[in-house]
Structure 1
């Protein structure tokens, strides 16, 4: 009878182990991202046509064996422009959040750890930056600095700093008084060691999940600026500029606007799905799934 009681107590006390799983949508989204990055990276080896070569005799040509997606209003190969446009969109979409996560993440960790006057200054400066409407700020800076991939990347990177700072600060605040940080401080660890060895590895997880969501937002913003004519200068193409050029041919060849729009939609959706899944997996409040 005693053995039976012990078995019952053990069954009640021991927690039920449940593993976190990701669905098929996650793998499809991850596969699309890998495919898009691969094609954009090796576009020069995969494509036979140049995105800037014009043939006025082949204007708005229908898809064929020579031009798989047809040609645009200037006779340029639509597939080549789509792939090279992916290169521009992904460069801006990936590099701009890197600026945000580097500067904003560092400021957020320092503000959440040291607190006090430094935190007040950092949070106040981020609030000032957030007071400017992001799209209006981007339009004004692009018009002032000029149109280039570098300028556009820097502007969008600066706009992403406040969001990454808040994520890093919130994660640091939740970890700064945890047992392993208190133990490291009691053992005489320096502030630099605590920040680099105890806090940074734990803060990087939610930051990376938010980074993927930031990539999706940046691609949309870059597309909006290019659609308005303030993105990368011609003859370089991006998905936003292709949509803007294709709107003039909606009645004759709607595919010129719809194909880059669908491509951008799938890419943004994929980054959102992957980022959302990673956020749920790394968020301790979600519990076991």
Structure 2
């Protein structure tokens, strides 16, 4: 071995490398304040929907006629935060109660998509071959059919119950979630940790559950937030066509009830209250889902 002293340039380079933070530390990303504000709003609206019977709200179906205010609808005030409708029903109370059904529709819809579509996509991406071709063809057929037309067809033929509406929107979410799960599974199925598990003799079930599923759930979770927002908006579209949940209040139905031209001119608050809550909720879901997607994309690239 040589006893020659190290080059001053090499010593300086070592010092620079030790003292200077790495590039990944410089570009370190966080979810951001907006993400946590969005999550806080979602937590508030979910808790309000769950605890609606215990919050001391006005009866959403009762008529609160105030002779001092004259004939309804009443504008927003301390007694009616969002005003009242033409039957003197409190719009704020009805909006909170409507959140119960709208949020359930959105959650059940995307849960069905993630459970069924995610499972099929994971199996197709891992097993490949004829099973992959068959499942991909099914996804392609579902995506080729106009979603709104299919939702109208199903809800028109069946009853307009909460189960039917949520199940219909869940059926429509199977293909988008399944295609994402399949693509992500194919991406990770050739990684070193999967190949190492195969070499060590791990069974297919263990590889899919222990190695692939945690990585597939990350993009599926981001898409789930976006999909829940889409499902809530889709329920509103069905409500305008008279095909939403028949026996319950929803945000879409409340907006539809106050969407007449005369109501919008003389009492816009009838629909503006539910529109505002719907807008903020969908915005929070979209922003949170987008931030989760960007955050984990950056972390995956840095690896």
Q: Verify same fold: TM over 0.5.
A: yes
Shift of the 231–99 alpha-carbon distance from structure 1 to 2, 3 Å rule, reads same
Question: Contact 1:47–1:80 at 8 Å: present in 2 too?
Answer: no
Structure 1 stretches lacking a partner, 5+ long: none
1:138 to 147, 151, 156: 151
1:20 counterpart SS class: coil
Check the 8 A contact 2:255/2:270 in 1, yes or no: yes
Shift in Å at residue 258 of structure 1? 1.5
Distance 1:192 1:284, change over 3 A: farther
Moved more, 3-12 or 89-98: 3-12
* Per-residue deviation, 1:70: 2.0
User: Once the 2 structures are TM-superposed, how far is the Cα of residue 286 of structure 1 from its aligned partner?
Assistant: 6.9
Q: How does 1:252-271 map to 2 (within 5 A)?
A: 252-271=266-285
Correspondence for 2:292: 278
Q: For residues 50-97 of structure 1, what are the alpha-carbon distances to aligned partners after superposition, in whole Å with 9 as ceiling and x for unaligned?
A: 111235666312223332222112221111100011111101011110
Q: Render the CA deviation track for 1:19-67: whole Å, top value 9, x for unaligned.
A: 2123322222111111111111101111331111235666312223332
- Tell me the matched-pair count: 287
**Which of the residues 38, 50, 56 maps onto 1:47?**
56
Residues 40 and 87, structure 1, Cα contact 8 Å, conserved in 2: yes
- Give the match for residue 13 of structure 2: 8
Deviations 1:178-204 (A, max 9, x none): 000000000000001101111011111
One of 206, 214, 220 as aligned partner of 1:193: 206
Unaligned stretches of 5+ residues in structure 2? 1-5
RMSD of aligned C-alpha atoms?
1.9
Shift of 1:9: 4.7
Name the residue aligned to 1:177. 190
1:67 and 1:230 map into 2 onto residues whose CA distance is 29
Q: TM-score, normalised by structure 1?
A: 0.94
Report the CA distance between 1:109 and its aligned residue: 0.6
Which runs of structure 1 show a deviation greater than 4 angstroms over 4 or more consecutive aligned residues?
A: 55-58
Q: State the shift of 1:15 in Å.
A: 3.7
Task: Tell me: CA distance 1:178–1:286, structure 2 relative to 1, closer, same or farther (3 Å).
Answer: closer
